């Protein structure tokens, strides 16, 4: 029991207590267990421990699905002008092309962007400072 705990601490919890005990019963000695776990290929170790490696394929499929969804969301963003009639204020905001909606910061109402042909007041300023060199809108 204490040998299993020390081996588990050596590998910083990568293996459960039951898995370490299974290896000790298989190899009989703590040194052989440590040598096996450090030198053998991961698929051989997983096979001896009885771990299912099917979770890797399911994780890979899930990550591909998530990346496809993110690519749809991250198609791009555009600067749009929004205006609130009740607060008498307007603002510019970079919003995704898929859902160009913004909230007024005062009254918390959602607004669609102003049509492109009716926008006003956009300008660019480039800072001449050598350390800054940023472009502001």
In a 10 Å sphere around its CB, with 0-12 CB exposed, 13-18 middle and 19+ buried, how is residue 23 labelled? buried
Name every residue whose Cβ is closer than 8 Å to that of residue 110 and which is 6 or more positions away in sequence. 101, 102, 103
CA 88, CA 60: separation in Å to the nearest integer?
A: 50
Backbone phi, then psi, for 75, in 5-degree steps?
Answer: -60, -25
Question: What residue spans define the domains of the chain?
Answer: 2-51, 77-136
pLDDT of residue 98: 76
Report which of residues 69 and 103 the model is more confident about. Answer: 103
CA 54, CA 74: separation in Å to the nearest integer?
A: 30
Instruction: Note the pLDDT tens digit of each residue in 77-101.
Output: 788 888 888 888 888 888 887 778 8
Maximum C-alpha span of the chain:
80
pLDDT at 72 over 60: no
Query: Residue holding tokens 């926008």?
Result: 119
Percent of the chain scored above 90 by pLDDT? 0
Instruction: Note the pLDDT tens digit of each residue in 109-133.
Output: 888 888 888 887 766 777 888 788 7
With cut-offs at 50, 70 and 90, classify the pLDDT of residue 74. Answer: low
pLDDT of residue 71: 59
Report the 10 Å Cβ neighbour count for 19. 21
pLDDT at 73 over 70: no
For residues 82 and 90, the answer to whether their CB atoms sit within 8 Å is yes
The model carries a pTM of: 0.38
Instruction: Note the pLDDT tens digit of each residue in 2-14.
Output: 888 887 887 777 7
């Amino acid at each position: 029991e204490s040998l299993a705990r020390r081996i588990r601490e050596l590998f910083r919890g990568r293996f459960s207590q039951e898995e370490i005990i299974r290896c000790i019963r298989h190899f009989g000695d703590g040194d052989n267990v440590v040598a096996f776990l450090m030198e053998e290929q991961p698929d051989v170790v997983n096979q001896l421990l009885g771990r299912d490696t099917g979770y890797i394929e399911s994780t890979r499929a899930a990550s591909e699905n998530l990346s496809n969804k993110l690519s749809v969301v991250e198609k791009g963003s555009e600067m749009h002008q929004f205006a609130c009639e009740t607060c008498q204020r307007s603002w510019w905001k970079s919003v995704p092309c898929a859902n160009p909606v913004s909230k007024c910061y005062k009254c918390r109402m959602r607004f669609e962007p102003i049509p492109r042909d009716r926008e006003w007041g956009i300008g660019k300023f480039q800072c001449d400072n050598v350390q800054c060199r940023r472009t502001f809108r």
